[in-house]
Amino acid sequence: MNLDQAELATLARDYLPIGDFESIQTTPVTGGGSGRTFHRVHFRPQGKTFILMQYDLDRPDNQRFVPVTRYLREELDVAVPALFGFDKERRMVWLEDLGEIDLWSQRDQPWGLLEPLYQQTLDEVWKLHAVKEHEIPCALEPAFTEGLYRWEQEYFYEHFLSHQSRMKPRLIEALYESKDWKDMAAELAALPRTLVHRDFQSRNVMIYRGKAHLIDYQGLRWGRPEYDLASILLDPYVEIGPDHRGALLRHYHQRHREDSWETFLGLYWKCAAQRLMQALGAYGNLGRNLGMKEFLDSIPIALPRLRFVLQQGNLLPELQDALQEDKLTLN
């Protein structure tokens, strides 16, 4: 943080409902990334804390964080952190401190305790999914289109399949160019769109005062709600098991959908295949090209989930064959 204590104290008094304090202590909060840094700011002696976010302009979605936060909180009543102050010149945002407990940190809790947290999380994201595509008062990331779905498929092909497959390159390329892949992208793109989080995974759900809150939502865009559901329920960072996933899908469908279970599930499998292909491409790219080797550890978790999804949805049979263990190398 490029602020001395005196300057930080002046800014705090300008933006925060803080009252008198004697000193300030700042602690970095890990997990920012994407051109953003977060600090927990402690005010003593009263013990109040707030989160200070600073961002750069390299990514356009960082500039959308504030208007998106206002829209979600004020217009849709989504549980997101309260916004206390925004200094556009310094690119600083003062936010409510939601603590340090995220959904991921609760992954080892008994299912009887974890299930209601997931149900809350699905009910909260539905507030986004209830918004059908129309003009809204904040700019969003580019919507899911046939081109974006094809980009995800290409990302998977380029950064995962072309590196991990033992098949000849021309056969791998033929998979990506196959009619089945193109048809799936076209079918999803032709469906009505709603607001989606886009990175809806366990580390982006905070549990604060017993309630699920969404964070890292600046990638908000128009897309299919089943994509978010696949993101959270097939999150490679958490193992909740197929039976529990099925129960949570039933919970969401019964409470928030009017289509048949069969129609809903068919769309879920297609979106889940897209999401897992995108994730495997990301793990390969981050791990091999950007030197973040820890992401490669998620491949052996995400890959069986993609196989399962393709099988359950009866999708992309040629890809199912190409993903058999004897046709891949995972070193």
Domain boundaries, the chain: 5-96, 104-327
Please, which pLDDT band fits residue 103 given cuts at 50, 70 and 90? very high
Q: Give pLDDT tens digits for 38-56.
A: 999 999 988 899 999 999 9
For residues 269 and 229, give the distance between their C-alpha atoms in angstroms, rounded to a whole number: 10
The full DSSP string for 16-61 is S-----SEEEEEEEEEEETTEEEEEEEEETTTEEEEEEEE-SSSHH
CATH code: domain 5-96 is 3.30.200.20
Q: What pLDDT is attached to residue 330?
A: 76
Q: Give pLDDT tens digits for 232-284.
A: 999 998 999 999 999 999 999 999 999 999 999 999 999 999 999 999 999 99
For residues 188 and 138, give the distance between their C-alpha atoms in angstroms, rounded to a whole number: 24
Termini Cα distance of the chain: 39
Q: What pLDDT is attached to residue 140?
A: 96
Q: Ramachandran region of residue 113, left (φ > 0), alpha (ψ -120 to 50) or beta?
A: alpha
Q: Rounded to 5 degrees, what are φ and ψ at 165?
A: -85, 145
Q: How far is CA 261 from CA 13, 251, 256, in A?
A: 53, 11, 12
Residue 7 pLDDT more than 90? no
Mean pLDDT computed over 91-108: 96
CATH topology (fold) of 104-327 = Aminoglycoside 3'-phosphotransferase; Chain: A, domain 2 (3.90.1200)
Q: What pLDDT is attached to residue 5?
A: 81
Q: What pLDDT is attached to residue 31?
A: 62
Q: What pLDDT is attached to residue 58?
A: 87
